[in-house]
Amino acid sequence: MIITRNKNRLLLASLALLASTSLQAYEPENTECIAPADPGGGWDFTCRQVGKTMQDLEAIPGTLQVTNMSGGGGGVAFAAVVNKRNSDNDLIVAASSATATRLAQGAYPGNDMSQVRWIGSVGADYGIIAVAQDSPIKTLPELLDQIKTDPRSVAIAGGSAVGGWDHLKVLLAANKAGIEDVRTVKYVAFDGGGEAITQVLGGSVQAFTGDASEAKGFVDSGDIRVIAVLAPERLAGDFAAFPTAREQGVDVIGANWRGFYAPGGMSDEAYDYWVETVGKVYASDEWKQEMADSGLAPLDLQGDDFQAFVADSVASITELSKQIGLIK
């Protein structure tokens, strides 16, 4: 009888422990999104627009604080999350093909995508090449021909580091246009697309390589002119007027996925919450309208599916970087 009573006590204690644990489900408090670049770029757009939609849907309490943390093509933010905020359940970080590119090329501390947890995607952003509105360059072939004739006369600015995704896109276009030594293409790196476009407007550089979403405000204001969209066909909405590179005889496509990662030590409960919340944003009518307005293409991946997708992205960009000679 004593043994039976002891077993019953142990069973009741176990049930009580399980019950108390289940009551400790994650409840967000001071939610935050790190944009690993200065204001105005694609990562900043991802944090702010997704955060606004989360608030509109009342999917988070209060507002999503956006912290800009530029440097190293996202490496400064990656290191800060891994080394200082590894167990922060309230934190998410904007990511993209540029993130996968830097991981593929060994440019982040540790260079291991498994150091963080991958939450989900919110769309794919096709690349563009643009010039100032008053630029004498009217088409992509004109820009590439000028590079062929006098490489030093053309500098192209982007919001990723040298060897990053913005750099790779213009190198791919140059390669398709018959520029055999793509190292002659002069690329100038800035911390975010907003700063890169500002340099174009100031005349310091002749063209911009980036993504549709980060350039939209400058397109709407008439400050820049898109000379090529790196998509299979013309985008819908506000970008429908701009020709693709393919239309101009340069067969190149550059799609930049956009999504989020979280600290590697985030609890399973918090991780599941953020996966579900990003999924709610993607499925909402509000976000579908934002995608149409910003030129984002569909890409709906969450949790394990997104983790596998990022792993594939890192592997394919590693191979591409080797082919172009950026890494050995």
Q: What's the pLDDT tens digit per position in 111-135?
A: 799 999 999 999 998 999 999 999 9
pLDDT at residue 309 tops 90:
yes
pLDDT at residue 22 tops 90:
no
Residue 46, pLDDT score: 95
Cβ distance 262 to 93 under 8 Å? yes
pLDDT at residue 15 tops 60:
no
Mean pLDDT of the chain: 90
Domain boundary among 214, 239, 255: 255
First-to-last alpha carbon distance for the chain, in angstroms, is: 72
State whether 130 and 230 are in the same domain: yes
- Which domain range does residue 209 map to? 126-255
Residue 213, pLDDT score: 83
Residue carrying the six token digits 């967000």: 28
pLDDT at residue 243 tops 80:
yes
Domain total in the chain = 2
State whether 168 and 250 are in the same domain: yes
Give SS3 for 223: coil
* Measured distance CA(236)–CA(294) in Å, rounded: 10
For 272-287, give one letter per residue: b (16+ CB within 10 A) or e: ebbbebbbebbebeeb
Give SS3 for 258: strand
Residue 6 covered by a domain: no
Which stretch of 51-65, 85-99, 162-176 has the lowest confidence by average pLDDT? 162-176
State whether 142 and 229 are in the same domain: yes
Span 213-239, mean pLDDT? 90
Give SS3 for 132: strand
pTM: 0.75
Residue 326, pLDDT score: 81
Closest CA to 70 of 94, 103, 100, 89: 94
Region for residue 52 given its phi and psi (left: phi exceeds 0; alpha: psi -120 to 50; beta: otherwise): alpha
pLDDT at residue 9 tops 90:
no
Residue 27, pLDDT score: 93
pLDDT at residue 36 tops 80:
yes
Residue 24 covered by a domain: no
Percent of the chain with pLDDT over 70: 93
Q: Between 21 and 224, where is the model more confident? A: 224
State whether 154 and 63 are in the same domain: no
